[in-house]
A = this chain, B = another copy of it.
Amino acid sequence: MGWDAKFASRAERMRASEIRELLKLLDQPDIISFAGGIPDPALFPDAAFRAAYQDALTTANAGAALQYSISEGFPPLRRWLVGEMAKIGVPCGIDNIVITSGSQQALDYLGKLLLSPGDTALVTWPTYLGALQAFNAYEPRYDRLNPAQGNLTPAAYAEAAGQAGGRVKLAYLTPDFANPTGETLDRAARERVLDLADELDIAVIEDQAYQALRYDGEPVPAILALDIARKGHIDATRTIYCGSFSKTLAPGLRVGWVCAAAPVITKLVLMKQAADLHSPSINQMAMHHVAEHAFADQVAKIRAAYRHRRDRMLAALDRHMPEGVAWSRPEGGMFIWVTLPEGMDGASLLARAIETERVAFVPGSAFHADGSGTNTIRLNFSLAGDAAIDEGIMRLGRLIGASRRA
């Protein structure tokens, strides 16, 4: 069929996601999986959610919980978020916030708003796979943002974009405890991203899905906070902050938010209205209830649990990894980034790891817009228990050692 070709060309640009792969692996109970990027369901605040849905469905509330609602999102939830943003140095108002169906949806809408085919998106090498998937639908070209080691000059980015037939439209990055590397950008690197964006007159998409999950070290200001310090007011900034409850309270409700200049929010609201009307009313009400009653306690609880697992995994890596293997020591988040000996391929290693050692992870090339990074892998430490971490890292070290000698 004629329309089939079109389907194929757009859809196939999107690669199979980590979640899909993870869920397949979870069906095999004897696999020790460090592949996912998902929270531990044993830590979900079930009781708080039970109370929240009960409250949303009282006779007084059910009419609103089950009915259509405004595209901007549930006002009490947005007001609560205004308070949270203030705590991280982002003074803003309710008109600076729109609720999205997870921060993944924010990335989709931002791609749709900003990117035309052939335009350039600046992303780190590696970057969040889901961001590449969201942006791919709008057919951009990618260029490498390298805020830690050194960006290109604005002119060099602009020239390369022009030669490719478009313009640089955005820089996307996860400054805190990045997926996949676990790394956090220092303040100077964040300022360099803003310098570049100001010079190129582009949007900065700041993905802060992991920001609340800091286990040690000092918080670094959000890029949006630095942008406000430069421009004097949020409505004069170019930074679009994407937040999420998926890693703190629960992902299954699909509640995230964008905080940005009011004119940007207005446009995202129009976009959301056309794309899915609004995020579920009942889930926004329930999330607000849980946030009001349990956010601080829940964050403290998962920080303690994940800090312990990170330390456990780092200790196991120290114990079991052969020479020539290096890894990140993240101050937060869910991931450790492992660099294998030069020439060792993460994807082949995964195939062998599943077959012979029954252990899983994500090959690092999946996170590179250009397919490089073949000698890297991503390990998740938020889901496995102590014994599984010890055993899985031991098996992985054994396999890498054997592969080196082979």
Q: Kindly identify which residue among B57, B70, B113, B116 contacts A7, using a CB–CB cutoff of 8 Å.
A: B113
Within 8 A of B (CB), among A277-312: 277-283
CB distance from A44 to the nearest CB of B (A): 5
**Cβ proximity bits A174-206 to B, threshold 8 Å, 1 near / 0 not:** 000000000000000000000000000111000
Given contacts A67-B41, A252-B67, contact A6 B101 (CB under 8 A): no
Residues of B within 8 A of A133 (CB): 273-274
**Cβ proximity bits A68-83 to B, threshold 8 Å, 1 near / 0 not:** 1111000000000000
Interface majority SS on A: helix, strand, loop or mixed? helix
Do B276 and A254 touch (CB < 8 A)?
Answer: yes
Residues of B within 8 A of A17 (CB): 273-274, 277
Given contacts A11-B267, A57-B46, A57-B49, contact A101 B20 (CB under 8 A): no
User: What residues of chain A have their CB less than 8 Å away from a CB belonging to chain B?
Assistant: 1-4, 6-8, 10-12, 14, 17, 19-20, 23, 38-39, 41-42, 44, 46, 49-50, 53-54, 57, 59, 62-71, 101-102, 104-105, 108, 112-114, 116, 130, 133-134, 136-137, 167, 169-170, 201-203, 238, 246, 250-254, 263-264, 266-267, 270-271, 273-283
List 13 additional contacts besides A11-B270, A112-B137; criterion CB under 8 Å: A6-B113, A10-B113, A19-B71, A39-B67, A41-B64, A46-B59, A46-B66, A50-B62, A66-B251, A67-B251, A130-B277, A253-B280, A254-B278
